[in-house]
Structure 1
Amino acid sequence: MITLPDDDRTLSPYTGWTRDHWIAVADAILDGAARHASPSQSLIRYPGTPGGLGRDIDHLEGFTRTFMLAAFRIAGEPEGTQPLAERYARGIASGVDRHHPERWTRLDEHPQAKVEAAALAVGLHLTRDTVWARLDERAREQTIDYLSTSIGAHYWPNNWVWFRIIVSHLLESVGGPFSLEDRADDFALLDSFDLPGGWSVDGVGRNFDHYCGWALPFYPMIWAQLVEGDPQYAERVARYRRRLDDYLDDALHLIGADGGPLIQGRSLTYRFATAAPAWAAAFHGTSRHDPGLLRRAASGQVRHFVDRGAPDADGILTLGWHGEWRRIAQNYSGLGSPYWASKGMLGIALPPDHAAWTAPEQPLPIDRGPFTRAISAPGWLAAGTADGVVRIVNHGTDHRVEGTTQPDAAVYAKFGYSTATAPTLDAASVSAPLDGTVALLREALPSHRSGFIAGPVLALDESTITGSSRSRAHWPVDFSFVPDHGVSDYEGRTLLGPEVDTVSVVRGAWEVRFVRVHGEGLEPTDVLRIGGWALTAPDATATGEAWATSARLASRVVALGGTASLSSGVREQDDVTPLEGRTAVPWITVAPSAGEWHVFGIQLGEPAAAGHPPTVLGDLITWPDGGSTVFDPASPLETTPPARDPAR
């Protein structure tokens, strides 16, 4: 573990961290990069098995992503970081030289270089007087030449378009070529992603994940500095700043008391890049969120990983979550990929006397006590509890388009994600999912739900929230998971089954889940199975039927309201999530009655509370805290259309 200063619980009562802690983490990572640099400094060759894009891309990512961190470090303390600036300037001069033996892969040679060009552009913008100033005329011309191949090139229609925008404006600022047509097209596409509440979808589909924080609102704050004073962009800059604040209204609710981010979505090996939107708000300087709150959010998330060994004692961020666990990686992830975590270090670009460093920490929503929050854009029901855990029940995100029948992506389509649990990610569990599912078993194969119709998510009262979705049960019968880009593109045989309605009512650690299977397409031998939260801990074990516990948490599924179970149990496995320990998943099966509601309680929370589930009698839910809710599960679905049959 890296060496850190003593905590300061006066300035930072929640995390103990000051700017000195951040500098220590940054310097540990940058020192680690230096130990693995090539002779010309242009490539960072981290040890290990290369990633899916090959060693050349691994080495390029190692440089560009740590250069972004170096740029933040230099911008915040230009006088004390001259050797760092010299080192990276030397690496850039070698990397952009087409004839240098340690040259970089170019943008027209591999698409991933377009991503890395944006990191290079961000870093050069922030270090104009230090790194850029150290480049001679030939190196500057070659840098412009390297970046200019972005003009008119194909970029994926998602957060990638920000890479071209950042590069385009950097090029303009240093006298290079740029395309107004590219900019117009890119901004038009980005505008189509915008949703209410400051959220943006990352491309076509219900693509909600950490890219909604560490990419889509992050780059606009860097870009705003690039175009500062240009009146043609004033309204857009103001809009992006407002939208970031609006997004943070929700995002700050999705951080656990221990700083743990939501373990959901692709590219989780970027770890504390999740701190990027909080720092981006502090960086633009006009946020309505208190600077002490923004630092609390950022420090909590970075400390969460540092305390658990990331980076390690050598300053290396491995492919993994806390420790190394390569199965968390996507097919595009390599040895340099984890250093996108640098985005979460943007705050060190701010000087020591900035309010973000001098203001006392303010509490996160989870620090202030239990809460519930309906988050409309991604269709999430968020609940924070006294144990410090934040969990969401998911009725709106699957990284798919409504009506499709692709396999479920384990990091997107489950019914639950939290700051303390992870979905099971071994190949067998992805192909035939159990945790976080409502599935029909047909010949022992569980159905998938992707392509569902999302219903509304809303608050019933100050403590209780509800959401719903309607899916077409489908079985990708020959699907076998292999590492993908977060979701699998499956073209094999898929069987279709009945529609399944799922309605959730959430209060505290408990969810009351109503499930109705429609009659058309239901086979007499189909079995309905409810899979609970995957609980991973060194001491996780089965406690009873459909009930697992650890010292910290319990995960339980229980039949309610007269629903009769056929069978129940707990599946226990080793090494199936990126968290340390054994994983236990409770489950229950019932015989589905066509058109009738089956009711279940699903819990993730303190072990003592697992023994006191809600009760359901008719339309009355009585909660363990003594509160009650009158609820008709059919009401959210009255205006929901039938799930579309793709075969028709």
Structure 2
Amino acid sequence: MMLPPEDRRLSPRTGWTRAHWEATADHMLDAVNRHWSPRCARIDLPGEPSRYGLVSDGLEGFARTFLLAGFRVAGGGDPALLERYAWGLAAGTDPHSPEAWPRPDELGQAKVEAASIALVLQLTRPWLWDQLDDGVRARVVDWLATVIGQPYPPINWVWFRIVVESFLREVGGPWSQEDIEHDLALHASFRREGGWLSDGEERAFDHYTGWALHLYPLLWTHLFGIPDSLCSQETRRTWTDDLTRYLDDAVALLGADGSPLMQGRSLTYRFAAAAPFWVAAITGTPGPEPGLLRRAASGVLRHFVDHGSLEPDGVLRLGWHGDWPAIRQAYSGPGSPYWAAKGMLGLALPADHPVWTDVERPLPVETQDFTRVISAPGWLVSGRLADGIVTTINHGTDHALPGDRRADSPLYAKLGYSTATMPAVTDNSVVLLDSAGAASHRAGFETVFTEEMPGGVVAGASRGPVRWVDTSADDSPDHGSGREGEIVEGPAVLVVSVVRGGVEIRLVRVDGETDARLRLSGWPVAADTRPRAEIADGVEVSVSGARLRSELCALRGFDQAGVHTGTGTSPLGKYVATPWVATAGPVARGDVLAAAVRLDRGHGVMTNPLLLWHGNEIVLRWSDGPDTRITLPDP
């Protein structure tokens, strides 16, 4: 891909301008041209098919690249980009065509792709819909109308039906006000504190909050003629306020290198994480300045382009940086990664929009060290100017409900996620180990508190009964949740985190009798060469590799230390090394154990506070700041 020269005057942080975005979009669209089906109803991309089959995957390739072509044309690109898509609409909606699409009432995945098709048809009406033959328009309406009255999962999918039926309403087709009112009510039930939304009733906080649940509402009111009787001005103001507050967190969750947080399902959508920034620009939502919105979005896109997400043939395959099939979920197919096109929505804006012409503004992590609490997902967020890494310590997200008895989802239930590490097998956990060495699970825990404290300290706690789950018989499709199986009950475990200056002090108390050992693990380091590990005095562990350092220091109660090393478990490197500390024997009921946990680029020395305790009162005495006092809940 040939990119224009960087412009460090307009874009001092990334060097990227609209011209770089256009070049990337055009390269992506050119790369899929060789994969069109004969009648252009499918884009059949290389790779292992999804569980829904090749025809569904081909429709997915069509619909998701259609998003990118539509954004490009709406923002001033060549309308000829839509020509093949017009042919595909004619063939795909013809029930007698050899390339007929499965209808949304026949295949659930078609409900997803119908929304992308309807959205782009609305966005590009003068160039595409208004130019189609009457017969083709009638068939498209008939195909889309099969969504009416159909069941939809009570998650972000509600917006797929809202978008489709709203387009049908715009073009004089059938639609159901009852459907839309039902789906809007479900969306309202997803709202949580601070402008966040959960992807359903569970504590499912991830990138879907931004690239789906904040993407569609304001875009819907902006692109479609929605009457106040269907969506009141008060509701619109609520959505605007929610997006404003969410974006304040979203820009803080980006690393200085442009990496989004590596947490949650569907990570193969990659730079779709930029979508909510563009929604704000398109709809004029108050919040981050246009230069900060572009810096955030350009940082995300450039991060993936620079790290080889586009293969040598230009195709975006399942993976993170490059091709890594293990990132797939059951619904993932070769066309799935092209939902990344949502993150290129800004191309629909004209070139003279302030988001393209204003000078880039720095991200929060590029201005100073910071900590913050994000209450809805229960995250303690820490960013450091020196290395540009953002970490979240998790005491509120597990893709489950309190009392859930499933196994942990590694994408949701770990104690830590960051912009520099991908969840591995054993990282960021506090587990009990049974006699066979099997680790316990904590999903379904209760969030005890999350709190901002004096001296730049944030603290949080979670507690719940742990369990051992044998998931070997659970062969259900992987949609990101924890798996079920035969359960062996364990005691309640309390975990408290106190974060300051990028260091987490992790306190653990087992509130029950057990003959199990306790193990606490830190951040994983992935590298193409085996990371270097150092163990000092049996209680301090440091792992370094790929300009990353993970440190773990036992402060109380642990008498063993080591490093777990695996291969082929991360898209960030061949080897993954994770430090751990553990007790040599069973942990005593009510005893408080503690360790210091840190992730950085190798700058500076980890300075641990003095740990004092008396009953349930814990004091952390920092060498350069006020004491932090924590009162543990009663057992």
With normalisation by structure 1, the TM-score equals: 0.93
- Residue type of the alignment partner of 2:408: D
Instruction: Give the deviation of 1:93 after TM superposition.
Output: 1.3
Is the CA contact 1:535–1:548 (under 8 Å) kept in the aligned structure 2? yes
Which residue does 1:487 correspond to in 2? 481
Note if 1:377 corresponds to 2:372.
no
Secondary structure (helix, strand or coil) at the match of 2:213 reads coil
Alignment partner of 1:577 out of 570, 579, 588: 570
- Residue type of the alignment partner of 2:358: A
Secondary structure (helix, strand or coil) at the match of 2:128 reads helix
- Residue type of the alignment partner of 2:389: V
User: Where does the alignment leave 5 or more consecutive residues of structure 1 unmatched?
Assistant: 643-648
Instruction: Give the deviation of 1:229 after TM superposition.
Output: 6.7
CA distance in 2, matches of 1:231, 1:301: 36
CA distance in 1, matches of 2:32, 2:622: 53
Is the CA contact 2:517–2:582 (under 8 Å) kept in the aligned structure 1? yes
Alignment partner of 2:131 out of 112, 134, 148: 134
Note if 1:121 corresponds to 2:118.
yes
Note if 1:532 corresponds to 2:530.
no
Going from structure 1 to structure 2, the CA distance change for 1:142 and 1:551 (only over 3 Å counts) comes to closer
CA distance in 2, matches of 1:535, 1:613: 21
Secondary structure (helix, strand or coil) at the match of 1:546 reads strand
Note if 1:546 corresponds to 2:536.
no
Which residue does 1:630 correspond to in 2? 628
- Which is worse superposed, 480-489 or 322-331? 480-489
Alignment partner of 1:616 out of 611, 614, 622: 611
Is the CA contact 2:167–2:224 (under 8 Å) kept in the aligned structure 1? no
Question: Where in structure 2 are the equivalents of 1:577-616 lying within 5 Å?
Answer: 577-590=570-583, 591-616=586-611
What's the CA shift string for 1:320-371, capped at 9, x where partnerless? 0001111111011000000000100000000100111001111111111211
Instruction: Give the deviation of 1:33 after TM superposition.
Output: 1.7
CA distance in 2, matches of 1:480, 1:310: 35
Is the CA contact 1:372–1:382 (under 8 Å) kept in the aligned structure 2? yes
What's the CA shift string for 1:11-53, capped at 9, x where partnerless? 0111111000000111111111212111211100111221222
Which residue does 1:169 correspond to in 2? 166
Going from structure 1 to structure 2, the CA distance change for 1:62 and 1:458 (only over 3 Å counts) comes to same
Note if 1:475 corresponds to 2:475.
no
Instruction: Give the deviation of 1:480 after TM superposition.
Output: 6.7
What's the CA shift string for 1:503-536, capped at 9, x where partnerless? 10001221001100012xx223x10100111111
Which residue does 1:358 correspond to in 2? 357
Which residue does 2:452 correspond to in 1? 459
Note if 1:214 corresponds to 2:204.
no
Instruction: Give the deviation of 1:478 after TM superposition.
Output: 4.6
Which residue does 1:273 correspond to in 2? 272
CA distance in 2, matches of 1:478, 1:322: 30
Going from structure 1 to structure 2, the CA distance change for 1:529 and 1:633 (only over 3 Å counts) comes to farther
Is the CA contact 1:559–1:565 (under 8 Å) kept in the aligned structure 2? yes
Instruction: Give the deviation of 1:277 after TM superposition.
Output: 0.5
Instruction: Give the deviation of 1:461 after TM superposition.
Output: 2.1
Which residue does 2:199 correspond to in 1? 202
Total equivalences in the alignment: 619
Note if 1:46 corresponds to 2:41.
no
Alignment partner of 2:430 out of 425, 430, 438: 438
Instruction: Give the deviation of 1:538 after TM superposition.
Output: 2.8
- Residue type of the alignment partner of 1:631: R
Secondary structure (helix, strand or coil) at the match of 2:37 reads coil
CA distance in 1, matches of 2:162, 2:620: 52
Secondary structure (helix, strand or coil) at the match of 2:276 reads helix
Instruction: Give the deviation of 1:143 after TM superposition.
Output: 0.4
CA distance in 2, matches of 1:446, 1:600: 19
Over aligned residue pairs, what C-alpha RMSD do you find?
Answer: 1.6
Question: Where in structure 2 are the equivalents of 1:68-107 lying within 5 Å?
Answer: 68-77=67-76, 80-107=77-104
- Residue type of the alignment partner of 1:111: G
Is the CA contact 1:455–1:467 (under 8 Å) kept in the aligned structure 2? yes
Is the CA contact 1:372–1:462 (under 8 Å) kept in the aligned structure 2? no
Instruction: Give the deviation of 1:141 after TM superposition.
Output: 0.3
Instruction: Give the deviation of 1:633 after TM superposition.
Output: 4.2
What's the CA shift string for 1:234-278, capped at 9, x where partnerless? 332222122111111111110000000000000000000000000
Which residue does 2:554 correspond to in 1? 559
- Residue type of the alignment partner of 2:547: R
What's the CA shift string for 1:99-131, capped at 9, x where partnerless? 111121211211010000000011101100001
Secondary structure (helix, strand or coil) at the match of 1:162 reads helix
CA distance in 1, matches of 2:569, 2:207: 22
Which residue does 1:243 correspond to in 2? 242
Is the CA contact 2:74–2:348 (under 8 Å) kept in the aligned structure 1? yes
CA distance in 1, matches of 2:482, 2:93: 35
- Which is worse superposed, 614-623 or 311-320? 614-623
Which residue does 1:152 correspond to in 2? 149
- Residue type of the alignment partner of 1:630: T
CA distance in 2, matches of 1:264, 1:527: 28
What's the CA shift string for 1:579-601, capped at 9, x where partnerless? 12411100011242211211111
- Residue type of the alignment partner of 2:528: P
CA distance in 2, matches of 1:258, 1:633: 37
- Residue type of the alignment partner of 2:244: D
- Residue type of the alignment partner of 1:388: G
Is the CA contact 2:409–2:483 (under 8 Å) kept in the aligned structure 1? no
- Which is worse superposed, 601-610 or 41-50? 601-610
- Residue type of the alignment partner of 2:55: D
CA distance in 2, matches of 1:20, 1:462: 44
Instruction: Give the deviation of 1:184 after TM superposition.
Output: 1.2
Going from structure 1 to structure 2, the CA distance change for 1:614 and 1:584 (only over 3 Å counts) comes to farther
Which residue does 1:523 correspond to in 2? 514
Instruction: Give the deviation of 1:290 after TM superposition.
Output: 0.6
Which residue does 1:646 correspond to in 2? none
CA distance in 2, matches of 1:226, 1:517: 54
Which residue does 1:293 correspond to in 2? 292
Going from structure 1 to structure 2, the CA distance change for 1:357 and 1:462 (only over 3 Å counts) comes to farther
Which residue does 1:416 correspond to in 2? 416
CA distance in 2, matches of 1:394, 1:267: 19
Going from structure 1 to structure 2, the CA distance change for 1:22 and 1:595 (only over 3 Å counts) comes to same
CA distance in 2, matches of 1:308, 1:622: 41
Is the CA contact 1:514–1:633 (under 8 Å) kept in the aligned structure 2? no
- Which is worse superposed, 602-611 or 7-16? 602-611
Secondary structure (helix, strand or coil) at the match of 1:128 reads coil
Is the CA contact 2:407–2:471 (under 8 Å) kept in the aligned structure 1? no
- Residue type of the alignment partner of 1:109: E
- Residue type of the alignment partner of 2:534: T
Instruction: Give the deviation of 1:481 after TM superposition.
Output: 7.5
Secondary structure (helix, strand or coil) at the match of 1:609 reads coil
Is the CA contact 1:530–1:588 (under 8 Å) kept in the aligned structure 2? yes
CA distance in 1, matches of 2:323, 2:610: 42
Going from structure 1 to structure 2, the CA distance change for 1:229 and 1:115 (only over 3 Å counts) comes to closer
Is the CA contact 2:557–2:592 (under 8 Å) kept in the aligned structure 1? no
Secondary structure (helix, strand or coil) at the match of 1:341 reads helix
Is the CA contact 1:170–1:226 (under 8 Å) kept in the aligned structure 2? no
- Residue type of the alignment partner of 1:157: P
CA distance in 1, matches of 2:542, 2:49: 40
CA distance in 2, matches of 1:135, 1:509: 57
What's the CA shift string for 1:185-238, capped at 9, x where partnerless? 111111111112111111021010000110001011221123447333333222
CA distance in 1, matches of 2:544, 2:625: 25
With normalisation by structure 2, the TM-score equals: 0.95
Is the CA contact 1:556–1:610 (under 8 Å) kept in the aligned structure 2? no
Instruction: Give the deviation of 1:568 after TM superposition.
Output: 1.1
Is the CA contact 1:241–1:284 (under 8 Å) kept in the aligned structure 2? no
Secondary structure (helix, strand or coil) at the match of 2:71 reads helix
CA distance in 1, matches of 2:69, 2:158: 24
- Residue type of the alignment partner of 2:4: P
Is the CA contact 1:8–1:17 (under 8 Å) kept in the aligned structure 2? yes
Is the CA contact 1:28–1:314 (under 8 Å) kept in the aligned structure 2? no
Note if 1:394 corresponds to 2:391.
no
